[in-house]
Amino acid sequence: MSPEPRMVEVRKNVLKQNDVIARALRERFRNEGILVVSLVSSPGSGKTTFLEKTLTLLRPHFQVAALVGDLATENDAQRLSRSGAPVKQITTGTLCHLEASMIQKALDGWEVGKLDFLFVENVGNLVCPSSYDLGEDLRLVLLSVTEGEDKPLKYPTIFNSADVAVITKMDLAAAVDFNEPTLDQNIQAVRPRMQVLKLSAKTGEGMHEFLDYLQKLQRRRLQTAYVRLA
Amino acid sequence: MHELSIAMSIVEMAQEEAELRGNVHIQAVHLRLGLLSGVVKDALLSSYEIACETTALEGSQLIIEEIPVEIYCSHCRTERPVHSVQYFCCAECGTPSAEVTRGKELEVFALEIRE
């Protein structure tokens, strides 16, 4: 052994393995013309209710499916199945987030090419999911009006990893003295020009605008897929 | 808390590099950690010790260089440090920007080895 240590340069991304799988998934989704939307939020923000409503409203017109991540239980998958859409639960055990390889594995045996929309509900956690690309086209960060307007300032990283913010449980806004301008200001502070949608899955308020937005993205996706194949 | 699985990936990656170089002994791993990587430095440091146990890297050091967040400022027309992670605007002129150019790194940058 030489007495002096020597430095060697490596320069390798620690999450390379995840990123490689995520890239392959994204390519596959693009080629097959599916729009993949993932949902991140803290536990209890209304992800499952929102997703159940979304699946129910889309299903008469589109082929939709969902993957749902949780530490334990199949409860969410059972709830989402009521929409009639195919749903698969990913139980992560002690893992606090989904990784791209779990999505890949969960899709085994599904005819992905027949789908128009695939939704991926991440484990309820505003920290860990931010590091992992899942190959999705659109990442929604959900935040309910009951959670406090300063949440974006406390979790800027997850807001930075997401594309659109969805404010849920708007039907409770008055009851909890929800301060809409303050929340808007805080979201724009951590992610300037972020698109924000406000809705209530319970009353249906704002759902139409959200579904319109998804359909527009899906149409654009089909056009780009068409161009790619031509 | 996903720092333990990240620490295990770092150890695995360092071990592969050590093997590639003829089973050299690794004294330290240098990591670049962006402030927007979603990984907490202190949690990663303690996880690293656990991840090293019973591996060839036991007793090695993890040296973390924290990378500040930078954005592209359309007014200054260059990359600038961000005011703070709670306030994404140019630290020089105050123009808001969401175009992050630096600060998401999670990269094994170098190894200190003994042959």
Task: Please report which confidence band the pLDDT of residue A63 belongs to, taking 50, 70 and 90 as the band edges.
Answer: very high
Mean pLDDT over A203-209 rounds to 96
By the CB < 8 Å criterion, does A104 face chain B? no
Chain A residues whose beta carbon lies within 8 Å of the beta carbon of residue B109 = 9-11
Chain B residues whose beta carbon lies within 8 Å of the beta carbon of residue A160 = 36, 98, 100
A106 Cβ contact partners less than 8 Å away, ≥ 6 residues apart: A67, A88, A90
CATH number at residue B94: 3.30.2320.80
pLDDT number for residue A222:
81
Return the structure tokens found at A37: 């939307």
Considering CB atoms only, which of A8, A127, A158 is closest to B110? A8
Whole domain around residue B47: which residue ranges?
A: 3-114
- CB–CB contacts below 8 A, A to B: 104
pLDDT number for residue A230:
39
Contact across the interface for A14 and B112, Cβ inside 8 Å: no
Task: Please report which confidence band the pLDDT of residue A227 belongs to, taking 50, 70 and 90 as the band edges.
Answer: low
Compute the nearest-CA separation of B12 from chain A (Å).
Answer: 10
Q: What percent of chain B has pLDDT over 90?
A: 97
Considering CB atoms only, which of B2, B10, B87 is closest to A96? B2
- Provide CATH code, domain A34-229: 3.40.50.300
Contact across the interface for B98 and A191, Cβ inside 8 Å: yes
- Say if CB A96 and CB A128 are below 8 A apart: yes
Probe site for chain A from B85, B95, B99 (most A CB atoms < 10 A):
B85
Return the structure tokens found at A229: 């194949």
Compute the nearest-CA separation of A58 from chain B (Å).
Answer: 31
pLDDT number for residue A3:
66
The one-letter amino acid code at A189 reads A
d(CA B113, CA A67): 44
Contact across the interface for B88 and A10, Cβ inside 8 Å: no
Phi-psi region of A206 (alpha: psi -120 to 50; beta: other; left: phi over 0): left
By the CB < 8 Å criterion, does A12 face chain B? yes
- Bridge partners of B67, per DSSP, are B34
Which of these, A174, A172, A164, A119, lies nearest to A144 by C-alpha position?
Answer: A172
- Say if CB A157 and CB B85 are below 8 A apart: yes
Contact across the interface for B38 and A7, Cβ inside 8 Å: no
d(CA B77, CA B15): 42
pLDDT number for residue A42:
95
pLDDT tens digits for range A160-202: 999 999 999 999 999 999 999 999 999 999 999 999 999 999 9
pLDDT number for residue A121:
96
Contact across the interface for A95 and B5, Cβ inside 8 Å: yes
Q: What percent of chain A has pLDDT over 70?
A: 96
By the CB < 8 Å criterion, does A150 face chain B? no
pLDDT tens digits for range A143-153: 999 999 999 99
Structural domain tally of chain B? 1
Chain B residues whose beta carbon lies within 8 Å of the beta carbon of residue A195 = none
**Weakly modelled stretches of chain B, pLDDT under 50:** none
